[in-house]
Amino acid sequence: MTTSYDIAVIAGDGIGPEVTTEALKVADAAAEAYGFSLVKNEYDLGTERWLKTGDIFPDADFEDVKGHNAIYLGAIGDPRAPVGLIEYGIIAKCRFDLDLYINLRPIKLYDERMCPLKDKGPKDIDMLIIRENTEDAYAGMHGFVHKGQPLEVATQTMVYTREGVERPIRYAFEAARARNKNKQVTLIDKANAVRAQDIWTRVFAEVAEEYPDISTDHAYIDAACMWMVKNPEWFDVAVTPNLFGDIITDLGAMLQGGMGIAASGNLHPGQVSLFEPIHGSAPKHAGKNVASPVAAIMASSMMLDYLGQKEAGKAIETAVSELLISGELKGVKTGEQPCNEVGDLVANAVRASVAKA
Ligand code: IPM
Ligand code: MG
């Protein structure tokens, strides 16, 4: 019997549906080539549904989604909804309620021409950012007093638990061990100003003791932004609290060619996990077949890797990389190449690479 995986698909808003179609086209091509199958269940979630019915993520849908091997998400967000409503109702809900405590964001440059930095190439830009994914300023502990009045007070608490800090740090050390680079983990924080982040300093030092084969480094987030631009080759694996991870991975995305290529996995190792491109829903480009599906395709590669189909995941990554280098894939910017053509190109390259092997 062929191995099959159940995938919950949330195509979402804006360009989400079109890039998802291409990403799954490629994932299916890889599945077929490597002898497994993906059973996809689509969930109508996002701003359109909220506008029509008022539903964001009904419990019944959520329970259903949970029962899959993985979740694939296109993009969420639309200016017709209040800021954060749909984002918190869907993506943050998955992150928190499925306890997807790792946000794994690889930053890898495939083709020198895509890099905005002078004299930096693929050998310099290859790092893994491990973003903590359930705590920090994202934990949702916020409030307002005297709302709308001159003396209004607004607060948002940065929350860190020992377990919540330890698990991404441990994951980072394991990832550094598994990778063939500098065998180094950098802690990125702002413990000199956000004093509660002292817990990150302490837990990092404790966990590091268990990994004598891995060297450690530290950078405050402001300096880390500078070093990532100046000397990206210094980074191997970096681990950081949620909010800084959100910010620095946008910077990282630019180093690897832009939001059109950056992908991520929201993971709870061993449990249902969620894969998505880092980019947003870009409503103004929606439905025109101009968005680049490459980031979405890279997210599907990460999903297959997570499901244990490592060769299939790798085949997708290699196909994208080779097509970029050969120039058949013109780039990952909006409007450079029709969305569906990019999907066909990568799917065919994946099939061809397996037929050749
Ligand atoms: C991301 C996004 C989200 C985040 C938004 C949509 C809430 O920017 O996944 O990086 O801030 O985590
Ligand atoms: Mg972000």
Q: pLDDT tens digits for 17-47? A: 999 999 999 999 999 999 999 999 999 999 9
Q: Is 278 in the pocket of ligand 1 (CB under 6 A)?
A: yes
pLDDT for 88 beyond 90: yes
Q: Can you read off the two tokens belonging to residue 27?
A: 């994932």
Q: Is 48 in the pocket of ligand 1 (CB under 6 A)?
A: no
Active site residue 138: yes
- What pLDDT is stored for residue 160 in this prediction? 98
Which of these is catalytic: 110, 138, 160, 171? 138
Burial class of 127 by CB neighbour count within 10 A (0 to 12, 13 to 18, 19+): buried
Q: What is the mean pLDDT of the chain?
A: 97
The minimum-distance atom of ligand 1 relative to the CA of 280 is 6
pLDDT for 355 beyond 90: no
d(CA 95, CA 131): 12
Q: Taking residues 135-149, what's their average pLDDT? A: 97
Q: Taking residues 100-125, what's their average pLDDT? A: 97
- What pLDDT is stored for residue 2 in this prediction? 86
167-189, pLDDT tens digit by residue? 999 999 999 999 989 999 999 99
Which of these is catalytic: 25, 190, 220, 306? 190
pLDDT for 1 beyond 80: no
The closest ligand to the CA of 251 turns out to be 2
Active site residue 43: no
Q: Taking residues 121-145, what's their average pLDDT? A: 97
The minimum-distance atom of ligand 1 relative to the CA of 92 is 7
Q: Is 246 in the pocket of ligand 1 (CB under 6 A)?
A: yes
Q: Is 132 in the pocket of ligand 1 (CB under 6 A)?
A: no
147-161, pLDDT tens digit by residue? 999 999 999 999 999
183-242, pLDDT tens digit by residue? 999 999 999 999 999 999 999 999 999 999 999 999 999 999 999 999 999 999 999 999
Which DSSP category does 176 fall into?
H
242-277, pLDDT tens digit by residue? 999 999 999 999 999 999 999 999 999 999 999 999
Active site residue 284: no
- What pLDDT is stored for residue 205 in this prediction? 98
Q: Which residues fall within 8 angstroms of residue 61, CB to CB, at 6 or more apart? A: 43, 45
Amino acid identity for residue 123 in this structure: K
Q: Taking residues 96-121, what's their average pLDDT? A: 97
For a pLDDT cut of 90, what percent of the chain falls above it?
98
Active site residue 6: no
pTM for the model: 0.97
- What pLDDT is stored for residue 284 in this prediction? 96
Active site residue 217: no
Contact 202, 187 (CB under 8 A): no
Tell me the pairing of strands 237-240 and 184-189. parallel
